[in-house]
Structure 1
């Protein structure tokens, strides 16, 4: 199995390794897309840590509030990661034991 690029963080390395192992990615385009998805996940997690630390809104010099810049980074990283996963054509949907919509029994106990 191909090792993750050394610049990836913990989350990125885990995603990269999982993609390579689970989907048998070994072509250069696939490896590049897996790397991109992993980089985006690392960036997303870093942004989430900053949002957790500083909040969704931060104070301005004038005493007002504005959106923390990490919110946009989180959003963009999430979208780019999903785009890379789509380009890899990996199936992220949970498998069902039969085709079609879930039966009414699958919704039993669901709260409104």
Structure 2
């Protein structure tokens, strides 16, 4: 069953939109708080993906002006974005495998 009531927010990547559609459909997320948490998770996923691409491009470490190796600043963005995404998904109770029929309990 396709949930066409709540389209993915503008500005999300194609991957994040696909996950938005999957999660709103499978878990029946349609309340305002749930949609806000899901948007937070999807935007964090996009930042995490962007940071991962920068790490792939520039490496996990960079050289400072003194020639010393330092962590690529994108590693912090990737880590923080992953934590924000996981936190939002946990707040939606999506960190547990559904038992029986997928979906959040009504009113939660």
TM-score for the superposition, normalised by structure 2: 0.82
Alpha-carbon distance in 2 for matches of 1:94, 1:23: 9
Alpha-carbon distance in 1 for matches of 2:95, 2:52: 25
Give the paired residue count: 95
Equivalent of 1:82 in 72, 78, 86: 86
1:94: how far off?
7.8
Q: Which moved more, 1:65-74 or 1:11-20?
A: 11-20
1:94–1:31: structure 2 CA closer, same or farther, 3 Å change rule? closer
RMSD: 1.4
Q: Which runs of 5+ in 2 are unaligned?
A: 100-108
Greater gyration radius: 1
1:51–1:81: structure 2 CA closer, same or farther, 3 Å change rule? same
The CA deviation string for residues 9-42 of structure 1, in whole angstroms up to 9 with x for no partner, is 1222122111101101000000000100000100
1:75: how far off?
0.5
Alpha-carbon distance in 2 for matches of 1:72, 1:44: 10
TM-score for the superposition, normalised by structure 1: 0.79
Structure 1 segments (4+ residues) deviating >3 Å: 91-95
Q: Which runs of 5+ in 1 are unaligned?
A: 96-112
> Is residue 49 from structure 1 mapped to residue 53 from structure 2 by the alignment?
yes
